[in-house]
Amino acid sequence: MRCDEPHLIHGLSLPGGEGVTVRPVCPRDADVLQAYVRALLPDARYKRFFGPLRELPPAELDRVIHLDPPDQLGLIAQTRADDVIGEARYALSPDRLDCEFALSVAEGWHGKGIGGLLLADLESRASSLGARRLVGDVLRTNEAMQALARKAGFRMADVPRDARLVRIVKDLALAPATLPRDPPTASALANAA
């Protein structure tokens, strides 16, 4: 699937009413994404990437711009003026039950609901892919992300063999498209009663 398929581009609104587009990262976005990552504060980059990097290593950048939609995708959130105000990434696990994600919001844009908006968008994308859980690993010291996750209905779990991290997990409702299409027959209803 192409990264610029229209159904992968979501027009959303912040709580204050400002329009935001959440769209896939395409190969042509390499410079835009790298500039976004460089502009994050060191502490935010550490929390997002779990290491002291100043920018995405070339191999990692190349991987992100060539992810394979819709099962795995990089996303960027942009204002109407094309400012990149956040990014996220997700990937379905091989058994397709878990959708693993990470996200960040640009400096100067924190506290405006963008993190919550990205999380809700990830949830809807994961549900429509049939995932049962949305799952992220977060540094235990990252109180903002844990508070955001709690507010969005995630529970917390330990990460095996890594005490630095906490796993945030949300059980997902199946999207209508993933539910069985045929109505139950009269005999099935009778058997279930």
**Minimum CB separation from ligand COA for residue 45, in Å?**
8
Residues recorded for the chain: 193
Closest distance between ligand COA and the C-beta of residue 14, in Å? 9
139-156 burial string, b = 16+ CB within 10 Å, else e?
A: eeebeebbebbeebebee
Which is nearer to ligand COA, 48 or 132 (by Cβ)? 48
Token pair, residue 98, equals 């878990």
Q: Of 16 and 94, which has the nearer Cβ to ligand COA?
A: 16
What values do phi and psi take at 121, rounded to 5?
-70, -40
| Closest residue to bound ligand COA by CB | 115
Concatenating the DSSP letter of every residue in 65-84 gives HT--TTTEEEEEEEETT--E
The residue written with tokens 């997990």 in the block is 169
Instruction: Report the interface residues with ligand COA, using CB under 6 A.
Output: 44, 47-48, 102-105, 110-116, 136, 138, 142-145, 147-148, 151
Q: How far is the CB of 103 from ligand COA (least distance, A)?
A: 6
Nearest to ligand COA of 69, 115 (CB atom): 115
- Find the shortest distance in angstroms from Cβ 92 to ligand COA: 17
